[in-house]
């Protein structure tokens, strides 16, 4: 029989003709990993399955409203570790935000500074002189934003 390493623990497993596509050994931890992988793919690909899982989670939480509170009370080491990890994530986020603001000033010198710039897209253009109810002479225009540096390079002055 052919032997192949388990996808999880790397132990060699004998591949039987009845299961030529077997990837995991029969150990409990490996079967759990196999099931978790299958479930992740199923949740992504199957809307009904995902909705059913969400509903089951909500029903369970409705039946066990104090579960997380009790867990935190009974596992103070988990709570402290989680608090420290959150503080580290917050520090990293502050550093990343600071770096982004520095780099945005360096890399995007010609970016629009207005709060609500006009976005690229299709717009209706009508005369402000004749604000009639019926829009008989409306033009459809396609506005595209271009950077100042691009405009400077490509503008031909005649």
DSSP sequence for 18-66: T-TT--S-S-HHHHHHHHHHHHHHHHHH-HHHHHHHHHHHHHHHHH-TT
Residues 9 and 64 in one domain: yes
Shared-domain flag, residues 63 and 137: no
Task: Tell me if 82 is assigned to some domain.
Answer: yes
In-domain check, residue 12: yes
Number of domains, the chain: 2
Our measurement of the distance from residue 133's CA atom to the centroid of its chain's CA atoms, rounded to an integer in Å, reads: 44
CA distances in angstroms from 46 to 87, 123, 137, listed in the order given: 36, 38, 49
Task: Examine residue 116 and state whether it is found in any structural domain, yes or no.
Answer: no
Please check whether residues 9 and 66 belong to one and the same domain: yes
Q: Is 113 part of a structural domain of the chain?
A: no
Domain that holds residue 18: 2-107
CA distance 89 to 33: 27
> What distance, in Å, lies between the first and last C-alpha atoms of the chain?
80
3-class SS of residue 3: strand
Q: Which residue is associated with the tokens 């299958």?
A: 38
Instruction: Walk along the chain (158 residues) and give the pLDDT tens digit of each residue.
Output: 789 999 999 999 999 999 999 999 999 999 999 999 999 999 999 999 999 999 999 999 999 999 999 999 999 999 999 999 999 998 888 887 776 666 655 555 555 555 556 778 888 877 766 655 555 677 888 888 777 676 667 666 55
């Amino acid at each position: 029989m052919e032997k192949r390493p388990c996808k999880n623990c790397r132990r060699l497993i004998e591949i039987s003709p009845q299961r030529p596509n077997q990837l995991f050994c029969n150990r409990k931890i490996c079967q759990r990993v196999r099931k978790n992988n299958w479930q992740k793919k199923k949740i992504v690909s199957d809307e009904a399955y995902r909705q059913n899982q969400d509903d089951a989670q909500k029903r369970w939480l409705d039946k066990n409203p104090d579960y997380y509170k009790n867990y935190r009370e009974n596992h103070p080491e988990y709570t402290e570790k989680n608090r420290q990890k959150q503080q580290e994530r917050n520090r990293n986020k502050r550093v990343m935000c600071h770096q982004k603001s520095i780099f945005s000033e360096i890399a995007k010198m010609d970016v629009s500074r207005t709060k609500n710039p006009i976005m690229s897209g299709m717009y209706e253009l009508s005369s402000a002189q004749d604000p009639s109810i019926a829009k008989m002479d409306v033009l459809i225009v396609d506005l595209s934003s271009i950077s100042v540096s691009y405009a400077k390079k490509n503008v031909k002055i005649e």
